Structure 1
Amino acid sequence: MSTSKTGKHGHAKVHLVGLDIFTGKKLEELCPSTHNMDVPNVSRKEYQLLDISDDGYLSLMSDDGETKDDVKVPEGEAGEKIERLFKKEEKDTSEYRSVIIATLTI
């Protein structure tokens, strides 16, 4: 974040640069320094992947042993990769972890 000085046309400007938490894409925004900006609340939790049900839901376990069975396998490339890695894991002894990132903007 950087701030420019007030110019002859009014307000100082703020230049914000950030990364999209889902895609990793770099984003930029230029806005007057007197304007409010929305900021999301972001939570991140890691789970061990235990199983994938026939109806497309993940069976996950947190570090404290709680299970979570209400997360659907994502559609598209991400879901295909999760299923492919899980099937591979069944053949060897490695362990895969899922990361759930949730956002809420108020």
Structure 2
Amino acid sequence: MSKTYATLGELKPGNFIMIDGEPCKIVEMSKAKTGKHGSAKAHVVAISLISGAKKTFVAPVDTRVEVPIIEKRVGQVLAITGDSVQLMDMETYDTFEVPLPEEEELKSRLEPGVEVEYWVMPPGVYKIMRVRGGK
């Protein structure tokens, strides 16, 4: 659960960026040169991976920004209790609880024994992204 740094001008749609302490996926980005003595600005529109909220960010293109390092892992559902899912990592066999996904289609496919792909994002947030395999 770490992050690295990159220049804002190097990023493009599809990359990840930290905005307001949340990892976000860039969906739209535009660059504009401002005036004779101004520096070029970048306008970034991104979707938060945690809350799903749309976030915007405007800064000079040479600004160093945080880029989250997102671990994509595979786990098996052990149990579903209320609003959380108990997972076991398929590599380390660690067990932990993850919040139940909000997407109805994803939620309906979860049951004990199913393998899922989950992401570990800064600041230590776990999120189920998809169900692996058939069904």
Q: Same fold (TM over 0.5)?
A: yes
Distance change in 2, residues 1:23/1:36 (3 Å): same
1:1-106 aligned at under 5 Å gives the runs 1-8=29-36, 10-51=38-79, 58-62=86-90, 67-69=93-95, 71-74=96-99, 78=100, 89=111, 96-104=114-122
Distance change in 2, residues 1:98/1:22 (3 Å): farther
TM-aligned CA deviation for residue 99 of structure 1: 4.3
SS at structure 2 position matched to 1:40: strand
Aligned residues with identical type, % of pairs: 27
| 1:68 partner letter | D
Aligned residue pair count: 89
Q: Which runs of 4+ in 1 moved over 4 A?
A: 95-99
Structure with greater proportional helix content: 1
Structure with greater proportional strand content: 2
Gaps of 5+ in 1: 80-84
Q: Deviations over 1:3-45 (max 9, x none)?
A: 0013256211001111111122221100011211111111222
Q: Deviations over 1:47-84 (max 9, x none)?
A: 2212369xx8825252x6x5222x1354xxx49xxxxx
Residue of structure 2 in register with 1:82 after alignment:
none
**TM-score, normalising length: structure 2:** 0.48
Gaps of 5+ in 2: 1-28, 102-107, 124-135
Distance change in 2, residues 1:99/1:11 (3 Å): same
**TM-score, normalising length: structure 1:** 0.57
TM-aligned CA deviation for residue 100 of structure 1: 3.0
TM-aligned CA deviation for residue 102 of structure 1: 1.4
Larger radius of gyration: 1
